[in-house]
Amino acid sequence: MVNLSVTLCGLPLDNPVIPASGTFGYGWEFAAWYDINRLGTFSFKGTTLHPRLGNPLPRIAETPSGMLNAVGLQNPGVDRVISEELPRMREVFHKPVMANISGFSLDEYVEVARRLDGEEDVGWLEINISCPNVHGGGLSFGTSPEAASQVTGAVRKVTHKPLILKLSPNVGDIVSIAKACEDAGADGISLINTLMGMRLDLHRRQPILKNVTGGLSGPAVFPLALRMVWQVYEAVKIPIVGMGGVSSARDVLEMMLAGATAVQVGAANLRDPMACLRIVEELPGVMEEYHITSLQEIIGGAHA
């Protein structure tokens, strides 16, 4: 009998599989397909202080081994998330949920975190300082250790919930940014967000995305994500949530051996709404294949 349970920032998870923010809505959208309580948890749609319509269309483009998105943080704003989405979510999901937060100023991050801190259903705050698809938003706070530290420290003052900083791969030194977040009070690090990319329409001779650039996700980014999880694990002592191109149980084991405590699944959910459930169901068999009895025991196991 294998043990899939792990502990993330002090909170227990039945398994390490977490649908990533922006790919799983508020949970109820997928509850029609399967019992989402079989997941470890999920990170709900990125939330800002005020409602956002997102970027103009088109904002999705396919690539040979992934996709580009420039959705632009479309969401109803934190007040409606609290008054409408969380009660609806509560009907189908009975575990602590991960709240993903974005902002366009330090004050916005702080205010959204403060309001969500009072919600019992929210177990973790995942602070997105890495979104490449909005102008003047989260990515600007995640491009330097100083800015990342400033956001972390400010949000830390208004919440007692576990604080996980979501980092961007679109930087020169992700390790120094991760360490700055840890030093400023982060309880965990979440990485990686999408890579900036673009596609051109040969007929129109113009960018496919109205935003011109978008975030690349999918299997193409997995080796890069794995490398960054490995590097950050060697630099920090706090837990890591690994993500980027994860689409199978074997990918989950690789991420955990590289140093991830839990693993988020993103683009795979958009291609197959059953992807996360399939991974959860496949994990015991794959663990047995590689003689793994407990996932908690393999975290960082590939490091010397």
Known catalytic residue at 131:
yes
Strand 195-197's sheet: what is its strand order?
A: 60-63, 66-69, 214-217, 195-197
For the beta carbon of residue 150, count every other beta carbon within 10 angstroms: 17
The single residue of 9, 131, 181, 276 carrying the catalytic annotation is 131
HEC profile of 179-231:
HHHHHCCCCEEEECCCEEECCEECCCCEECCCCCCEEEECHHHHHHHHHHHHH
**Single-letter amino acid code for the residue at 163:** L
pLDDT tens-place values along the chain, 304 residues long: 999 999 999 999 999 999 999 999 999 999 999 999 999 999 999 999 999 999 999 999 999 999 999 999 999 999 999 999 999 999 999 999 999 999 999 999 999 999 999 999 999 999 999 865 555 555 678 889 999 999 999 999 999 999 999 999 999 999 999 999 999 999 999 999 999 999 999 999 999 999 999 999 999 999 999 999 999 999 999 999 999 999 999 999 999 999 999 999 999 999 999 999 999 999 999 999 999 999 999 999 999 8
Domains along the sequence of the chain with CATH: 6-298 (3.20.20.70)
The torsion angles phi and psi of 88, rounded to 5 degrees, stand at -65, -40
CA distances from 87 to 100, 122, 237, 261 (A): 17, 12, 35, 29
The torsion angles phi and psi of 126, rounded to 5 degrees, stand at -100, 110
